[in-house]
Structure 1
Amino acid sequence: MNKRRTALVLTGLLLSGASQATDGSLTLTVENDVFTGSDNNYTNGVGIAWVSDAIAREDDGPLGRWTRFWSFLPFVADEDYTTYTSWALAQEINTPDDIGEPHPDVDDQPYSGVLVVDSTLYARRWDWSHAWQLRLGVVGPASQADDTQREFHRLIGADKPRGWDTQLPNEPIVNLNYTLAHLAAAGHTVADLEWRLVPLATAGVGNYFTGAGVGLYGEIGWDLVDALGVTALRSGLNAASTVGIAPRDRWSVSLFGGGGAYGVVHYLPLDGTLFRTSHAVDSEPVIAMGSFGFCLRRGKLTLGFARTFFTETFDTQREQTDFGTLSLSWVL
């Protein structure tokens, strides 16, 4: 089976699982620095994710058995929490500053493509959200990121990327991640505006990302939904979470913004592969980020947009990492 067919089969399995579910939601997310007028570092990400409805404890189907298999994880089997599961297929593309140069500078970010399948279990109650994620995938030519960027640039008439022959080599990806969110404060203001503050914490171990981070986001708007926010494809704050959210017969409109910082031990797109020699630059030990955007909900649809920016991620970085995230969700 060739690489392109493998990616198509994974997508088909994900969509098949969603179509067999009686409920839940499907989300398409696109991240790109074209939203910010740049074309370097983290330049594109696209993902499709299915999130289940609440999984009953007595559920004897595949989702129930899958949840019970992981019931040893803290909070997953707790009677005070409701459990959800999510599956996602995502691809990301990273490039140096000058994509027209066939031999990129050794002190600039290397070309890399990543293709992953994320399996996430959520344990939620009204004021806490715990997310346990297993990330499996591949970095390197097998991700098909080179073909994706070349074809996209051809369609939009952008410069042809010429340095993909120097990309990181093929290597399997295995990563475990945990994210915690807490509703710390909430209230109402004039004109029926609602607001809330949610601190976040995350940690990961594996050959994609090893490190930890903390952050805080705030949200204000009309008819806010019971969502505590999740991370987007690339650690941007995304208030358009669909975990546990039912269709709405009225508008929900909100603005959100926040920031955080990460302590980084290893980050694959910068530090390179672990088991094969590759181009690499040393990631900064501490990286800060900020994100702001809006979220609209009506009926079965949710539309969200965020702009995210990072401080310097490695010492010789030419331009700041800055990209936009557009997500569209619908209840099945």
Structure 2
Amino acid sequence: MKSGVGLLLLMAGGVGAVPAFAAEQCAQSALRDHPPAINIRIDNDMLGGAQQDQGYTNGAMFTLVSPNLQDYTDDPCLPRLARWMNRHLEHLHPGEFQQQNMIFSFGQALYTPTDNTRRDLIRDDRPYAAALIVNFGYNARNENHLRTTQLALGMIGPSAQGKQVQDAVHDALGDDKFLGWHNQLHDEPVFKLLHERMQRWPAEANSSGWGWDAISHWGGAIGNLATYANAGGEVRFGWKLPDDFGSSPMRPAGENTAPTRHGRAEGWSSHVFVTSDARWVVRDITLDGNTFRSSHSVDKRSFVGDIGFGVAVMRGKWKFALARYHRSREFDGQKETPVFGSFTISRTL
């Protein structure tokens, strides 16, 4: 159990140790009933099965999830640096709720045009772009309602190391490299403040047999990375459904990151899910180009929709989820509708 406390130190990005008495207090409460978790997610258009290598072509996200917390500033399950940081981000806290937790994630996303052989600027296709992002998230739950707020900070451009990562992957797979990375967007610090609200029906999941549930969501984001409003839903059916708010890894509270009331079911459990999201997009830096410098851009479409389906399997401390997503065209002249897949591994500590 105490290894989970050590993991939470990484969530704060600091060094040191939680005092022994605080660790023991935490281990006797939240860590026992709601242990922290690690999630590793890989997105790739090759996983979509449509033989694509373009658009949102690859992404990876590593996420640390805290146990359920008493609060964000004094809970002994959080190290001192995390509590200090939360005092300075108090305006992002959701308020008084029955359950709450924190997440910290670090990830990279790569975007490329369709033709990998051209070295010149392809003006009628999306820009080359890479983003390196750190997320701080706050979740809060009352019964079957959830609020989640995330602050994303990072860099887009050559410093995000997109070319280097894609070249290394293609070398390992024996695939041809993309030759136009020198046309990618310029370096620019980026941020995005996201807020979503979710509700699940029925309020109690069937954790002992076959059952179904539905989760609705609505919210939006603001920032030079992306600005949009969105809404959608997810439907799940399976054996021993988890007491959470969705299985889609693309959701802010998906894949074992939201606070739970009962923990995971004993033995095997599995379910299938179908998810959807519709967005009114005001800004997307990967399509609109750099904010403060002249760069390549395309005429993005204001309304974009996603539909996805997948399966999740859980046993003991482990959870595996595989999903496939179909997205509507994101800009005028886009040759193919994007299709990509996502694979997630989760483990509680």
TM-score interval w.r.t. the shorter chain?
A: 0.7 to 0.9
Shift of 1:239: 4.8
For structure 1, the residue ranges without an aligned partner over 5 or more in a row are 1-11
Q: Name 1:319's counterpart in structure 2.
A: 336
What RMSD over aligned residues (CA atoms) do the two structures have, in Å?
2.6
1:240 counterpart (241, 255, 262): 255
- Per-residue CA shift, 1:51-72, capped at 9, x if unaligned? 1001123425434444454444
Gaps of 5+ in 2: 1-8, 19-30
Question: Could you tell which deviates more after superposition, 15-24 or 83-92?
Answer: 15-24
Alpha-carbon distance between aligned partners in 1 of 2:15 and 2:273, rounded to the nearest angstrom: 29
Equivalent residue for 1:270, pick from 279, 287, 305 = 287
Q: What whole-Å deviation, never above 9, does each CA across 1:158-215 have from its counterpart, x for those lacking one?
A: 11110000000000001111111111336899x9421111111120100111011100
Distance verdict in 2 for CA 1:18–1:152, change over 3 Å: farther
Post-superposition offset of 1:244: 3.0
Change (3 A) 1:319 1:143: same
For 1:289, the aligned partner's letter is: D
Alignment partner, residue 64 of structure 2: 50
The verdict on how the C-alpha distance between 1:16 and 1:26 changes in structure 2, with shifts beyond 3 A counting, is: farther
Which residue is equivalent to 2:101?
A: 84
- Read off the aligned partner of 2:53 and give its amino acid letter: D
Q: 1:35 is paired with a residue of what secondary structure?
A: helix
| % identity of equivalent residues | 28
Q: Which one-letter code corresponds to 1:103 in the other structure?
A: D
Is 1:34 the equivalent of 2:46?
A: yes
Change over 3 Å in CA distance of 1:181–1:206 after alignment to 2: same
Letter of the 2:69 counterpart: I
Alpha-carbon distance in 2 for matches of 1:181, 1:153: 38
Report the more deviating stretch, 12-21 or 137-146: 12-21
Counterpart residue number, 1:6: none
The residue identity in structure 2 corresponding to 1:54 is N
Tell me the matched-pair count: 316
Aligned positions of 1:1-332 closer than 5 A = 23-36=35-48, 37-57=51-71, 58-59=74-75, 61-62=79-80, 63-73=82-92, 76-78=94-96, 80-185=97-202, 192-229=209-246, 232=249, 235=250, 239-245=254-260, 246=263, 248-332=265-349
Equivalent position of 1:9 in the other structure = none
The one-letter code matched in structure 1 to 2:75 is D
Residue identity opposite 1:92 in structure 2: A
* Mean CA deviation greater in 177-186 or 290-299: 177-186
- SS of residue in 1 equivalent to 2:267: strand
CA distance in 2, matches of 1:115, 1:138: 5
Quickly say closer, same or farther: Cα 1:73–1:162, change in 2 above 3 A.
closer
Change (3 A) 1:24 1:49: same
Report the Cα offset of residue 249 of structure 1. 2.9
> Cα distance 1:183–1:162, how it changes in 2: closer, same or farther (>3 A)?
same
Equivalent pair of 2:204/2:243 in contact (CA under 8 Å): no
Name the aligned partner's letter for residue 195 of structure 1. Answer: W
